[in-house]
Structures are given as C-alpha cells and as structure tokens.
Structure 1
Amino acid sequence: MFSGHNGLIAAFYLSRGGKKVCLLERRHTVGGAAVTEEIVPGFKFSRASYVLGLLRPYIYEDLKLYDYGLKVYPRDPSSYTPLHEKFWKDSKARSLTLGLDETQNEKEISKFSVKDAKAFPKYEEMLNKIITSLSPLLDTHPPDLKQFSDANFIKKLHLLKDSSHIFTAAKNLGVDTSRFLQLMTAPISKILNHWFESEPLKATLGTDGVIGSMMSPSSPGSGYVLLHHVMAETNGKMGAWGFPEGGMGAVTQAMAKAATDSGVDIFVEQPVKEILVDSEGVVRGIKTEQGLEIAADLVLSNATPKVTFLDLIPKGKLSEDFEKELKTIDYTSPVCKINVALKGVPNFTADPNPNVIMPHHQCTIHLHCEDLNLIEEAYIEAKSGKIPKKPLIELTLPSSVDRTIAPKNCHVALLFTQYVSVNNEGKEIVDKNAYVQRVFDSVEEYSPGFKSLIVGFEALMPSDLENIYSDLLEGPTATLMGPATPITGLFLCGSGSHPGGGVMGAPGYISAKMVLSQ
C-alpha cells in the first residue's frame, strides 16, 4: 500500500479486518497532501490541503482520531469577502461575512440585498436536502455499469438489489431531483443568478464552484464542484470546516498512530518502482526503487490511476483501450498554493483591525470576489496564456485560532490561488515569480502593508504540486469508478476512485471494504 490519508485509512480497516498490511511512502513523512511542514523556521504550514471538513464522521469514530490527539477548531464565521475601495461608492457595505448563524447571515446579506437575505436560507435548505439524500452514496462503491449491461436477467436483479441505496437516494431527493440534476450539469453562474441578485454574494458562493479546477462560473458542471465543497461537517456541525491544531499533518499523524496500533507496518522513504504482475494478469506484490521486492496477493494504490497504471504497471499488461483512456485523463490544475510566514496580522481596509485578531481573520478570506465576472475574466486571461490581472484568492490564517503553528505575534497565511495558465501537458506557461508578485500585490490592495509583514514564503505551482503530491485534484474516470481494476488483486484507494478528491477518506474505506468482502 501507498500512504496518503486514504491509504492510511484503508490500511487501518484492512488490518482490523485480519489482513497483514505493509504501507510504503516515498516521502519522509506519511499523509500525502495532508501534511504539516516547517518551510520557514518556526512556522508550520499545512503545505497542500489546508482545511478539514469532508472527512467522513465514521472515520473519526472508527480510528478514534480524537483519542490520538486530534483537535479541530471550527471555522465560524466561515467566509469573509472584503470589497475593494473602488466598489464602496456602489455599495451600502464594505464587506460580506457569512457563517453558521442564520440571523447574522441575514443581517450581512441585507446590506447588499434584502431579497437575497430572504432567499439565502432557502438556498441552503435546498443544498442540505440534496447533500443529506446523497450522503450514503459517498460510502458505497458505485455500480459496475459494464457488468450490468453484460449480465443476464437474474444477475441484473441481484445487481439492482446491491444498488438499492441508489434508489433510496433518488426517493429521498423527491421533487428536488431536478435541482440536483441541474447542479450536476449547469454552470454555477446560472444557478446563482436564479437565486440571487447581489454580486458579492454570488461571487463568494461561486468560488466553491470553481476552486481547484480549471473551470469558470460559466463552465457546465461547476455546480457539481460546488456541491462537493458544501458537504462539510466539523465537530458535528453541518456545513462547517475547521483548522486542525498543528495543521493538516495532525490529521494524518493521528491516522498513522491508529493504523500502527491496529498492526500496520509503515515505512517512509520507500518509493515504489513497480507493481509486480504475473503472466495471467494477477498482482504478485511490489518492487521498490531500492530493489526490495515484497510479495503480496493484494496491492492498494493511493496514487492516481495515471501513475498507477502507466508508471507502475509493466508494459503489455493492460488493454489498448484502457491505456488510451488513461492517457486522456485531464489533470489540468490552475492552482498555485502560496504558504506565507508573517510577522504580524494583516489589516484589511474594509474592516480595520490594527494588530488585533478579529472574527474575519478566522474565515476563508475571498479576494477579487466583488463580482462573478471578475472570476470569469481571470479564467479567460489564464486560458489565453496571461497572468490574471485579478487572480482568484482564498486566504486563510489558521494561526488566528491555532497558536501552535507560529511564533508569538506572528502568523501563518495560506493562499489558495488561481488561475495559473498551463499548456496542453498541464505545465504552467507563466513566470512563477511574476505570478506570485501579482498575488501579493492583489492582497496588498485589500490589506495595505501585507507585503511588509512577509518573513518568508513558498509558492507551489501546478508542476510543483504534481511532483510532490501525485493524488491532488483528481476524481474517478469513466472506466474506473470504483476500487476494482483490470489487474486482479490491484485496487485503487485514492482520490482517483469514487467518490473523488478532498480529505474525505471514503475512497480508502470503500476500497478496504471491497477487499474484505471478497
């Protein structure tokens, strides 16, 4: 097995189910993209993944993560959108703050539109009903459509019985089925324009429809991206994201302790060179880059399908059609993650706060979100090979609630930014330093003095993220919806398997469950 958070979860369940499990990690630490690293001395960064919310509730319980020291600070308020000064004359307000308090939300939104304030609870109710109805589907492997089409009538009946949870979900959706289908297919701009008239509100909500993907608010399917991002739950609070104390690495370190205590053997700095497959197409183990061969009749890969099959499986073991589909997977990422060490707290012009931590510092701070068109323009500029004049920025300050990750009076700022222009191979075609400076200049416009607070930083462009973390920003393919693969004994347990990416844990759980049921 390979270790990211899904690999750790799968290892735990397999070991608990009686399997002898060896988990291998190519880096110096387990956790994949959910790690904490001290890039600038004294400052601990959630280097890639940076907020927790999608992790399935049963995984907390089964792995006893809180018993292993995990502590999560809920993010409430949840979002803060300061308006640039040039928008103040056209608005009754200078910022929009949203959270879990319905009364406060109504007050905030009413500053822009009383109509939208009344519509917002209904919008959230619609999303929550869809999420509640579909939630069980996240924890069960999807049906094999090819197997169904090839089966005889009796076999089809058995397959339908095994897929009864799908019909239950459809029944629970009821009259909201049409809204769900629209969310899955329509541009997020169409959905938000139907519900609201206020641009700052639409743009703030719209970021959840494009974040992490090379899509714009007008791209079909961006509604699904939004749905994926509003499934959060933290400390039992629906819709809440949180900051783990000590960074995201605290989550995977707790998972590693749970896995180790269940009997899993974990080895770091052991990159896998090849998955061993015999002449009958059956997995026989793995071979590391150091030449060590480990025999196994089951291998679970937390790497992407592309890496798993095109890099680790020997040539000639896969069909031409399957290889062709793998080569056409679009891994395009527009994201540059910038981890910044600050010697003070940013002061936002829209809500001045000299040297004082305010509630809006605990939010995800949305910049260049005064209008949906600003996001659209940034996307268009990136598609034409340019650095956006106004890049989309989500800025978090986890040190505003977690004082374990920065020196006294200092702060950690995590900037999740897009859009980075990339070529057909998914490699960025803009200068890294120029892009980063554009982002810093943008933050400076909202928070004068921000650049003077910078002690040090690290910028991870799409190619950097790909080289360091191979399982980011990915979802299932048409052929590989579930854990099973064309190679007997080989299963996928990472974000390339249903239900997809994010620190969710469901792919690892589903993969282990399938293995143990055989």
Structure 2
Amino acid sequence: MAAKVWNSRTRQALSSIGTGTRASSQDIKSQYDAVIIGGGHNGLVAAAYLQKGGLKTVVLERRHVLGGAAVSEEIIPGFHFSRCSYLLSLLRPQIYRDLELRKHGLKVYMRAHHAFTPMLEDGVAGLPPRSLLLGSVLVNNQREISKFSRTDAKAYPEFITHLDKLAEAVHPLLDSSPVDIAGLAGGSFRRRIAAVRSTMPLLQCGLRLGKNIPDFYEIITAPITKILNRWFESEPLKATLATDAVIGAMTSPNSPGSGYVLLHHVMGELEKEKGAWGYVEGGMGGVPKAIASAARSHGAEIFTEQDVDQVLVGSDGNAKGVVLKGGKEVHSRVVLSNATPHVTFKTLTPQSALSPAFIKAVDQIDYTSPVTKINVAVDKLPNFLAAPTPDGKPGPHHQCSIHLNCESVEVLQYAYKECLEGRPSSRPMLEMTIPSVLDPTLAPPGCHVVSLFIQFTPYSLDGGREWTEQDKEDFADLVFNWIEQYAPGFKASIVGKDVLTPPDLEKIFGLTGGNIFHGAMSLDQLYLTRPLPFFSDYRSPIKGLYLCGSGGHPGGGVMGSPGWNSALAVMVDLNRG
C-alpha cells in the first residue's frame, strides 16, 4: 500500500468501538441516586460500585465512545488504535476481581519482554548495532546488560528487588483516601474516630517499608539520576530506566521528584505478575467496555453523546444533579465528576457556589504536558538495524516498549531543555509499541498499528503560537525521520497517521493542558494535596459533589483507584446522612 495521510474528514466518518448506549435525553430518567459526569474508566468503576451498593446510578459521557483516554478507535479503515492510553498494568487487582472483568470480556496479551532500546551506532565486524532487551527472565536481562557493563549486570537483580519492595509498600495508600487531617485536628467525636482510622493505610505503608523508609523518602524526592548513578554506570541502562521516571510528565531525569514517577509506573501488576504491562485485546477500549458491562449487569445506566452543561446547586449550597446541553435536568442525591478538577470547578460548577479562594487555588493546579501521541498504520513491521528480522516476522523486541533516542540520560535531558524553550524537541524521546504483534484483531493481515508516545512537545510553540496543521505535519516528519535511522524503510510503510499534540489531547479527551494524568504528578500535587490541600478525599466544597477521576488521589494511569475510593466516600457519606 502506498504511503498516504488520511484527513480529519475521513477519520470523522469512521466508526469507533463504542460501549455506551446512544439515546436521546428523553431516555434518561429525571431522578437517580448518583449521576456520574464522564464515562472514563474511573467513572465507570465508581458507577459499578455505587450500583452494587444499591444506589441507582447513571453515567453521562460527552463523546460517542466510552473510556475517556482509554479508548479504541478505528481511525484508519481496518486499523483499530488505542488512541490515547496504550498499555495496561496499574488496574487494581481487587477491581479486576470484584467486577469480574474477565467474565465481562477483558482479555490481556502478556508481553514476554518489556523494553527494547536499540543503539544508533555502527556495528563491529559486520555485527548489528548493540541493543538492550529487558524482560521477565532475570538471567537473560543480566546477559543483555553485560553487553554494556558487567558491573551493572551484577547489580541489576538487587536494584529490581529494592524497587519492588518500595513499590509494594505503597499499595495500601492506593486503595484508600488520604489521611483526614481536618478530622484529626477537630470536628465531632465520630469524625475524629474515623480520622484516626484513616491513618491505618499510612501506618501499613510505614510498617512495610520498615528500615527502607529513608530509601523511600529519597526516591520520591530526588532526581532519578541521583538514584540510578548510585546503582549503575552504563548510559543505555540508566536512560531506559529513566524513561519511566519522565513518561507523561513535564520533568527531566535531573528534576527533583522524578523518582516518584518511576515508582508510580512500576507499582502495578498484570495477571499476578508484578510490574508487568500488557496489551488489551481490541485496544484499551476493552477496559471500559468490560467495566461498563459489569456496571450494567448490576443495573447502572450508561449513555454516550450526553454532554453535561452544569452541575445543579440548590439554594442550600448542595449538589442536586446536572443540566444537560439542551436544558434537561437530571436530579440526584450526589454528583461525581470524572472530569479534571479544572473542568469540574471552572466549567461545570457555578462559580457563585465556590469561594474566590478556592477558585484561585484551582487556577494554580499544574497541568503542563510534554506529550504528543502519534498513531500510525503500517503495511509491514519495522525492521530494526540492531535486531534485524528480514523475513518480516516479529521478533521478541517487537512486543516491547521500544525506546528510541534513549541511548543516554543526556539525550533525554536535552530534549526536555528544548521543550522548556517553547519548541518541540529536535531529538525527541520516543516510546513505540506495536500491539498488533500480539493482537491480530487490530489490523488487516500483514499490517500493523504503531503507537508513538513522544516527549517533549510544548502546549504552545515559541511566542505562545498555536500549533498549525503544518506544524503537526513537520513534527510527525521529524519523528518518522528518527525512526527511519533505527529502522530503515519505516517511512515507506506508513499507510496513515493520527497526530495528537497537547492541545488535541485537551480538545478531544477533555484532558486539561493535554495532561494524561489529570494534573502533574509532582510532589506538591500528590496524596494530601491532590488536587488541593484539604480537598484530597474526593469531596469538594459543595456537599454532594465529588471528584472520581485521576485528578484525585492517587493520580493517573488506568488504575481505577480514584473511582473505587470516591464511590466508598459517597457511600460513607450517604450512610451517615
């Protein structure tokens, strides 16, 4: 097939893998116990648990497809993409079990190998350039690392054990609300007792860490380079590990706190394998599809193409429901917003119902994003110089997260520096995945879908200029030229592409600033301060209005914890009432 670009009109005419019920507003009842704004995976998790708990719940999604950023869409005829989010690992095990997601159709393809980092160098004595291939077999990882450093190969097992121990200790915090500081400081006797109970997950975390508490403190506050330099000497290994410390974040390996982003990305599990990441059959839309099926099985109602205009706030200052675009009112005892805090409190909530101080604080939340996502349809597999497969059959490295322009930490740092100056990186950090290698449902025979998660690109270009279509074309061409250096012939294999800059991610998916985490995962925006100090327990200044998206604790990723925790908070409050 000849290389060509499908225009936006063509894409709009194509179908998506929808999992909602398209209906007119007349099909939506006028009264529910709970209304959830937005059908992202967290909102659907909250709906499932609320409905299981006996609350009549409805989900109202603006788009034609459920999932928020975890969606599958047929952007190019015959090619189904995980258009935004593209890998699964962080989904909490109890949600997977409680909602019986496997029974409801969730199927995951496990990857035998996790990371592939090819080098841009001349081979020696006719051999291919070197590369680093990491997977779940420790002895194989050591053999790969020893290409660059035998010392690092020896240190690697201890490092992984150390990191796993720190990540495992955090789990109690993921499945509960942050400590109720206000309750501990004052309030009724009943609230103080509940506040004391809220400290238990933090105590559990501390007990699990034990003597590792100083190490934990260091990794969440230090630049990841400080940690990695202590353990390793080889640049390809350090850079490969450092990608997980900056992925999705406007930060560099030399920035304080980048260590926590790494920890966040290794704290998950998949099919009981710690730290594993996999591909969802049919694309990431399979996750919300299964959750929605589970929620419906308990009686929840879920509608797409229903845009909420505003949260209804009564004369008593409490949330009473929502108003849809078009004017229909849907009343409820509680409202949960799966939108970002900015959208929730600046767009959906009447400003007169919020204090000026709270609005000012919302304005200060950092949504800076460095991410451009490019989805590419190709008619053959990339053939990497560092791991040639001339027969066109996939090798182990094709299953991986393929890290390009990641030969050294210095390369990553320079890419970040360029973005700070208001221009897309001239040598961007590229994470490439090819899920169709394992999932044949995504592309026609012999063809593949390629996901490119790219950093660093600014929201606005130099001088505050908006991205134009030509800017996007130029940047995509720059990216493809870099891939061409690692895998000659890639550009000629392109059938079509979909380029999503930070403003595109904001417009299409409602991600303020294009930030995939619903707000930066910096230390000042985590745990007790996510999204704001004294509003980290999913509750808002308006009684009956809750956050259930990734803007709440513990943050981003297809995890489900914010939805689970917010649903629990709602049920506690209604039982008290």
**TM bucket normalised to smaller:** over 0.9
- Residue of structure 1 aligned with 2:96, choices 45, 60, 67: 60
Residue of structure 2 in register with 1:119 after alignment: 155
1:222-268 per-residue CA deviation (whole Å, 9 max, x = no partner) reads 11111111112111111100001110011111111111111011111
> Does 2:430 align with 1:390?
no
- Give me the whole-angstrom Cα distance separating, in 2, the residues matched to 1:193 and 1:428: 38
Q: Distance in 2 between matches of 1:11 and 1:255?
A: 9
Change (3 A) 1:218 1:161: same
- Is the aligned partner of 1:478 residue 2:532? yes
Q: What secondary structure, in the 3-state scheme, does the structure 2 residue paired with 1:297 have?
A: strand
* Residue in structure 2 matching 1:77, options 113, 118, 122: 113
**Corresponding letter in the other structure for 2:405:** H
- Counterpart of 1:368 in structure 2: which amino acid? N
Equivalent position SS for 2:312 = strand
Change (3 A) 1:53 1:22: same
**Matches of 1:300 and 1:505 in 2, distance apart?**
14
Identity %: 50
Taking the aligned partners of 1:84 and 1:97, their CA distance within structure 2 comes to 15
- Equivalence for 2:175: 139
1:386, 1:261 → 2: CA distance? Answer: 49
| Equivalent position of 1:216 in the other structure | 252
Indicate the residue corresponding to 1:11 in structure 2: 47
Task: Label 1:130 to 1:200 Cα distance change in 2 as closer, same or farther (>3 A).
Answer: same
Aligned residue among 57, 63, 66 for 1:27? 63
- Alpha-carbon distance change, 170 to 88 in structure 1, aligned in 2, over 3 angstroms: farther
Instruction: Identify the match of residue 413 of structure 2 among 376, 398, 413.
Output: 376
Partner of residue 318, structure 1: 354
Residues 70 and 426 of structure 1, relative CA distance in 2, 3 Å threshold: farther
What residue number does 1:492 align with?
547
For 1:98-497, list aligned pairs within 5 A. Answer: 98-151=134-187, 156=192, 159-354=195-390, 355-423=392-460, 431-471=471-511, 472-475=516-519, 476-479=530-533, 480-497=535-552
Paired with 1:514 and 1:156, the residues of 2 have a C-alpha distance of: 16
User: Residues 333 and 473 of structure 1 are in contact (CA less than 8 Å); yes or no, is this contact kept in structure 2?
Assistant: no
Output the CA distance in 2 between the equivalents of 1:181 and 1:84. 36
* Greater shift in the superposed pair: 19-28 or 154-163: 154-163
8 Å CA contact 1:93, 1:112 repeated in 2: no
Q: Is 1:333–1:426's contact at 8 Å kept on the other side of the alignment?
A: no
- 1:517 is matched with which residue? 572
Aligned amino acid, residue 517 of structure 2: L
Q: How much is the aligned-residue C-alpha RMSD, in angstroms?
A: 2.0
Question: Residue 413 of structure 2: SS of its match in structure 1?
Answer: helix
Structure 2 letter corresponding to 1:374: V
For each residue in 1:191-226, what CA deviation from the matched residue of structure 2 results, as whole angstroms up to 9, or x when unmatched? 111111000000000000001111111111111111
Q: TM-score scaled by structure 1?
A: 0.96
> What secondary structure sits across from 2:239 in the alignment?
helix
Decide whether aligned partners of structure 1 residues 334 and 189 sit closer, same or farther in structure 2, where only a CA change above 3 A counts: same
Equivalent of residue 505 in structure 1, options 557, 560, 564:
560
- Contact map agreement 1:427 1:463 (CA 8 A) in 2: no
How far does residue 143 in structure 1 lie from its aligned partner after superposition?
Answer: 1.4
Which deviates the most, 64-73 or 202-211? 64-73
Aligned pair in 2 of structure 1 residues 113, 450: CA closer, same or farther (>3 Å)? same
Secondary structure of residue in 1 paired with 2:381:
coil
Q: Structure 1 residues 486 and 335 mapped into 2: Cα distance closer, same or farther (>3 Å)?
A: same
Pair 427,490 (structure 1): closer, same or farther in 2 beyond 3 Å: farther
Distance 2:301 2:465 in 1: 36
Q: Which 10-residue stretch deviates more, 50-59 or 464-473?
A: 464-473
Unaligned segments of structure 1, at least 5 residues: none
Residues in 1 aligned to 2:183 and 2:465: alpha-carbon distance in whole angstroms: 37
Mapped contact 2:550–2:556 kept (Cα < 8 A): yes
Question: Displacement, 1:281?
Answer: 1.4
Deviation of 1:427 after TM superposition, in Å, equals 7.8
SS of residue in 1 equivalent to 2:196: helix
Letter of the 1:449 partner, please give it.
Answer: G
Check if 1:96 corresponds to 2:132.
yes
2:129/2:385 contact within 8 Å kept: no
User: Secondary structure of 1:37's match?
Assistant: strand
C-alpha separation in 1, matches of 2:90 and 2:466 = 29
SS in 2 for 1:316: helix
In the alignment, the residues of structure 1 paired with residue 517 and residue 491 of structure 2 have an alpha-carbon distance, to the nearest angstrom, of 29
CA distance in 2 between partners of 1:387 and 1:21 (Å): 43
Contact 1:420/1:428 (8 A) holds in 2: no
8 Å contact kept, 2:101–2:290: yes
Question: How far apart are the structure 2 equivalents of 1:342 and 1:488?
Answer: 51
- Three-state SS of the structure 1 residue aligned to 2:333 is coil
When normalised by structure 2's length, the TM-score is 0.87
TM-fit CA distance, 1:383: 1.0
Contact 2:177 2:198 in 1 (8 A): no
Matching residue's letter, 1:436:
A
Distance in 1 (CA, whole Å) between partners of 2:44 and 2:246 is: 28
Paired residues, what number? 517
- Residues 394-426 of structure 1, C-alpha deviations (whole Å, 9 max, x = no match): 000000000010000000000000100234999
| Residues 428 and 454, structure 2, Cα contact 8 Å, conserved in 1 | yes
Letter in 2 for 1:380: K
**CA offsets 1:12-66 (integer angstroms, 9 cap, x no match):** 0000000000110000011111110000000000000000000001111111111
Distance 2:494 2:458 in 1: 25
Gaps of 5+ in 2: 1-35, 520-529
